[in-house]
Amino acid sequence: MTLPRGLLFHGVRALLAPAVALVAWLSFPEIPGDLPSSIEAGAVASADIIAPRGFVVGKTDVERTREAEDLAATVKAVVRVNGGGADSAVADAAHFFAALDSAAALGAPLGDAAKARGVALDSAELRELAGPHARARLRRAVAAALRGAGTGFLAPGVTTSEPGREVVLRAGASERVVPAESLPSFSDFLEVAGQQQAAGTAGGEELLYVRLLGAFFRPTLAYERAETEQRRNEMRRSVDTVFAVVRGGEKIIGAHEVITHAAARKIDALRHELRGGPLGRVAGVLAALGAIGLQALILAVFGVFCAFHRRPLYRSYRALGTFAAGFAVTLVGAGLLARWAPDRPELIPVAFAVMLFTMLFDSRVALLAAAVLAALIGFQPAFAGTHAIAVLFVGGAAAALSLQAIRRRTQVYGSIAVVTAVYALAALLDGLATGGPVGAVARGAALGAGNAVFSAMLAMLVLPLAEGFTHCTTELTLLELSDPNRPLLRRLATDAPGTYAHSVAMANLCEAACNAIGANGLLARVGCYYHDIGKLVRPQYFVENLGHAKNPHDHLKPSQSAAVIRRHVEDGLRLAEEARLPQVVRAFIPEHHGTAPITFFLERARESEPQALEREEAFHYPGPGPQSVETAVALLADAVEAALRVLDEPTPETVHDAIEHLVAARLESGQLRGAPLTLRQIEVVKQEFVRSLAGMYHDRLDYPEDAGGITADWEIDRHA
């Protein structure tokens, strides 16, 4: 199964983000500084201890149990008023005595009748109940006592201390909090009942009376033990098991600070988190994945920007690889610094990567790279508590904006000065914000200056290698290619002087026009220098190199002449490849003609060689048409410069009309269809052509012959 082409295209590029993020994670120390082997509360910390990642400090079992019981104790017991308990007790007692009366009337054993009602009596107790008068007295006494229980008494075995100090007394839908000691217990009930028995029963019946009260008593204050325990268990379960939550980058204890009990607990938990037990290892893996993922997300912002706004860079594996390498080198340098001097972010070589990206690509993408690097490095726990993000971003931004187009080596000095000034200003403002001493501010400025010099030197050293790897063409390379002593240009000036003169004149036109519309004028100039180098193979077949020699095309068929003219494009590409010219310069060779017809020989073929027109494409240049602004301007400049040579009187008005005609013809033929050139830019180009050519074809003064000059009549007199 093959992946969709688009998914594979973007997926391979997307892998660079986690790869660089992994480098960042590996570069920085997990713990800034050495974690002490033992920590005691009350001691003084020797260095800052900063959490490299977030973790949780849990409570001990003893702490959790103590807090759980303290919370459970806050729950008040529930006691429900059971008003029907007394009535049930009185009814049960009445049924008991009725059963005894029935058994006595029938002569049945009283013990069996009592047992049938759930009361087991011994022989002495049965003798007390044998007489009807005794049973009647006990019945009245028991009934009276049980009816008195309706005022509210707890169940036997429940003391007033068991529910707690206060209870929730629930009567129907109403509740009120009362002291637990105010609730009457079963003992209180027996005490009250004993007083009643003493008044209404004989002394021998006292034990049986108490025995029967205990058998038939129903509590009228019901302690809801299950409900109370459920509430208390819920409170126990609600105990927070976390002692403290430490975030990644948080300072646990600072250097020279007294270690508190809480800080000691956090440090012990950090040690266990990083080095102890399988749970610590799992948490470490998850934390690492999270850190790498966040950094990859930051890098993805840069990739998405390139995908939308720098498509050529996004399509180029070499360009993206250079960005990834620049990020990785800077992150490794920052990681090393984090181990040695985490309080000196001005030493991180962000300016190196940004300068390199600016010279290779452009300042806008380099500015975004500075922001991404600042975020990636400032994200690291090692730089927590510093102004690393601000220092790195402004330093990188200064490098990007001060080195937009380098054409002279001295420009690097200007960039170094700007970056140094920005670092000095950042150090000053940081000192004001933190109250740092003047010496620290001066050291920060000096270190920033050293970083600027080192970054510029390293960027210039790496630039040729990076340029060769990415196949990018910098301004410096273009300047080198514009040197007239380059082999191809020297041959062109010697072997094809007319073509060389045409190329120089065209370069002047093209550079001025490109500069006027904001394109790369230097690239246009260099491209024009080399656009016709294919004519070096057969220079005598091109009219500008003939001089007064005979035209060799007079002896060739139109199709043969067209083939020779057309061939100079292929010869030029071959020579450019042999000379290893950059692709952006090679593009001028085929694109400055586009697919235009070789008009002169096409017209001759229509007259003298009509059979050759069966392959009319042989009378057209191979193309393609211009694909960039610079090659499009070169196409127009080539036509204009060559055509205006035939004008007898190149006045400004004639030049203007000729340029209008030539440009309109190229537009109508569709030669500029693939070029990113707007109509507004074309108008500016035409105006620039008129201005430049009008200056070239100006009138000159007659200089007297006796002064070493010539006049307008000199040629006439010479022939006479």
Inside any domain, residue 68: no
CATH for 688: 1.10.3210.10
pLDDT confidence of residue 485: 92
355 & 303 share domain: yes
Q: How many domains does the chain have?
A: 3
Structure confidence at residue 714 (pLDDT): 47
What single-letter amino acid sits at 222? A
Is residue 165 one of the residues assigned to a domain?
yes
* Domain C-terminal end among 233, 250, 268: 233
> What is the per-residue pLDDT for 703?
47
Q: Do 323 and 217 lie in a common domain?
A: no
Residue 13 included in any domain = no
Last residue of a domain, one of 407, 438, 469: 438
Q: Let me know whether 482 and 425 are in one domain.
A: no
Asked if residue 154 and residue 300 are part of one domain, the reply reads no
Q: Is 271 a member of any domain?
A: no
The residue length of the chain stands at: 720
pLDDT, position 71: 83
225 and 298, same domain (yes or no): no
Same domain, 607 and 515: yes
Name, in order, each residue with C-beta under 8 angstroms of 692's C-beta and a sequence gap of 6 or more: 508, 509, 512, 513
Residues of the chain with pLDDT under 50: 1, 32-33, 199, 277, 279, 701-703, 707, 709-710, 714, 720
In terms of domains, do 429 and 556 share one?
A: no
| Whole-prediction pTM | 0.62
Question: Do 408 and 554 fall within a single domain?
Answer: no
Does residue 594 come out as left (phi exceeding 0), alpha (psi in the -120 to 50 range) or beta? left
Whether residues 400 and 492 fall in one domain = no
Instruction: Residue 503: give the domain boundaries.
Output: 477-706
DSSP conformational letter for 435: T
In a domain, 378, yes or no: yes
Residue 451 lies in a domain: no
Same domain, 407 and 488: no
Contact criterion met (CB below 8 Å) for 254 and 107: no
Q: Show which of 216, 233, 250 is a domain's final residue.
A: 233
Are 226 and 327 part of one and the same domain?
no
Give the pLDDT of residue 699: 52
Which among 460, 426, 402 has a CA at the least distance from the CA of 347?
Answer: 426
Burial 533-571 (b: 16+ CB within 10 A, else e): bbbbbbbbbbebbeeeeeeebeeeebbebbbbbbbbbeb
Q: Does residue 260 sit within a domain? A: no
Q: Are residues 333 and 433 in the same domain?
A: yes
Residues 6 or more apart whose CB falls under 8 angstroms from that of 448 comprise 346, 395, 419, 420, 422, 423, 424, 426, 427
Residue 172 counted as domain residue: yes
pLDDT tens-digit map of 600-613 = 888 888 888 877 77
What token pair was written down for 236?
């126990």
Query: What's the pLDDT score for residue 707?
Result: 45
pLDDT (0 to 100) of residue 716: 52
Please give the pLDDT value at position 712.
53
